[in-house]
Each structure stands twice: as C-alpha cells, then as structure tokens.
A and B are shown apart, each in its own frame.
Chain A
Amino acid sequence: METALDIVSWVLLVTGSVFAMIGGLGLIRLPDVYTRMHGAGITDTMGAGLILAGLMVQGGFSQVTVKLILILIFLLYTSPTSTYALANAAFHRGQKPLLGKPGHGKEDDQPSKP
C-alpha cells in the first residue's frame, strides 16, 4: 500500500515537473508576450497542480494536505486573474500581438466578429 501510494505520488511529481519545464521552455521559445502567456499557463495549471497533487499523496490525510489544497485553490484563483491583468494592461498600452504564422510577416487574422 505504501509503495503503491509512493509510486502514484512520484508519477504525479515527475509529470508535474516535466510540464513545468515545458512551460519554462515555452517562455523562452515562443515569439511574443501573448503567446508566452500560454507557456506560463502550462506551468501555472498543470505544473503546479500535479506537483501539489503529488505532495498531497505524500501528505496523506493530515493538516499538510489541507494546506496544500489551499495553496492549489489560491494559485488556481490568482493565476488567471494576474494573466488577464497582464494581457489587458499590455493590450491597453498598445502592445500589438503577433498574428498569423510567425516568420511570414503578414497579419492575416484581424479580430473578426463571429
């Protein structure tokens, strides 16, 4: 039982770490602010969620798990709020998003009414 829980916990932790690093890589590779937000989104949701879930399995039914759940809930509430604040501030300040396929240099997708 112990080992089974340990394996579950390690799988969660390792997957979370991998997703966190992918998000970090995205922050470096992607071409502009708005696309980089998607990269940061990966670490904020999947990375943080899985790592904290893995720690929760380690913690078992205890106060530690309650605190971890609180941290997770808090992160899931605040990360979209601050991302929206960032996107909105950048947009208001006239930061133009890169549109269309990067490297083609033409903006073929203007915001359109559905």
Chain B
Amino acid sequence: MLHSISLGLLLFGVWLLLSGFFEPLLLGLGVVSCLVVVLIAHRMDMIDREGHPIHLGWRIVIYWFWLALEIVKSNIDVARRILDPKLPIHPVLIRLQASQKSELGLVIYANSITLTPGTVSVQVETGEILVHAIAKEPAEALQQGDMDRRVSAVEGPAEGGGKGEEAA
C-alpha cells in the first residue's frame, strides 16, 4: 500500500513537472490518469520492492555520485584507447562473483558494470556475472570487488527477492 501511494505521488509529480499547467480541469485529468496507471500496475502485480524500490533511500543517491565518478574515469581511459593509433585493447571475458542477495541488487550491479565503459556484462546468473572487458586493467579493477561491495552496501540487509527485471 505504501508503495502504491508513493508510486501515485511520483507519477503525479512527473505529470506536474512535464505539463506545467495548473488549471483545475488538467489537474483533474492528471489525477485520473495517475490513478488509472496505479490501478493497472497493481493489477499487473508490478508494485513491489523491486518495481518501485523506495527502501533504498539515500544510499542509492550516494552510490550514484560514486558511480558517476567511476564512469568519468573509465570514459577517459577508453577514449584514450580508441584515439591511440596502436589501438591498445586486449579484450577478455571474466567471471565475477556477485555477493548481492536480491535480484534488484544483482541488476544494479550488472547495470553499473555495463554503464562504465570498458566493461559490459554479458550474462547474469545468480551470484555470478560474465563480463566482457576491453582490456585487462578494467577487468582487474572489477575483480578487486570494490563496486561489488558498494552495491551490496546499497542493497542493505534485504530479505528475499521476487522476479522483476527492471529498476536499477
């Protein structure tokens, strides 16, 4: 129920920000369409801890800042490799242990790997991710497990996981 209310409020907030009109008729239409969406989402059983993860709270925001810094660093590294006339790449496939307990955490981890250029997650299984890296250095950086620990910390002491694929 809490999730439904927060989803409805979120949808209405997005509606207000996107429309920019504050006439009663348009506001009413907005409320109605938000309610319909929440109802449909409820019927599809999409409102749960994974589809709408409000329990992550501020930890995920802090993680985003760290991730943004990582993305900038690896961007510069990969850009240097592409511009180098010798093309110093050395693609490797590695298997990574993923310590996340829920599928949501696993998806956040896999998407973070893909979002940092230089590494792409190819196959995600429970507790294990197959990663393609453009060179040995980014692969070794991942194997140090810094990102893995941070995602697990973001995930927090989560209990149980459903079967959602979305929301990272």
Contact = CB atoms under 8 A, between A and B. Distances in A.
Q: Is there a direct interface between A and B, measured as CB atoms under 8 Å apart in the complex?
A: yes
Chain B: interface secondary structure?
mixed
Contacts of B72: 46
Contacts of A66: 17-18
B120 A34 contact: yes
Q: Is the interface of A mostly helix, strand, loop or mixed?
A: helix
B95 A111 contact: yes
Contacts of B124: 84
Interface residues of B, number: 40
B120 A99 contact: no
Given A22-B82, A99-B92, 4 more contacts: A35-B134, A41-B117, A84-B120, A91-B122
Interface of B: 14, 17-18, 20, 71-72, 75, 78-79, 82-83, 87, 89-97, 110-112, 114-124, 130, 132, 134, 143, 168
28 contacts: A25-B83, A32-B91, A34-B122, A35-B134, A38-B78, A38-B117, A41-B115, A41-B118, A41-B120, A42-B117, A63-B17, A66-B18, A77-B168, A79-B115, A80-B110, A80-B111, A80-B168, A84-B110, A84-B111, A84-B121, A84-B124, A87-B122, A100-B91, A102-B87, A102-B91, A113-B95, A114-B94, A114-B95
Interface of A: 19, 22-23, 25-26, 29-32, 34-35, 37-39, 41-42, 45-46, 63, 66-67, 70, 76-77, 79-81, 83-84, 87-88, 91, 97-102, 109-114
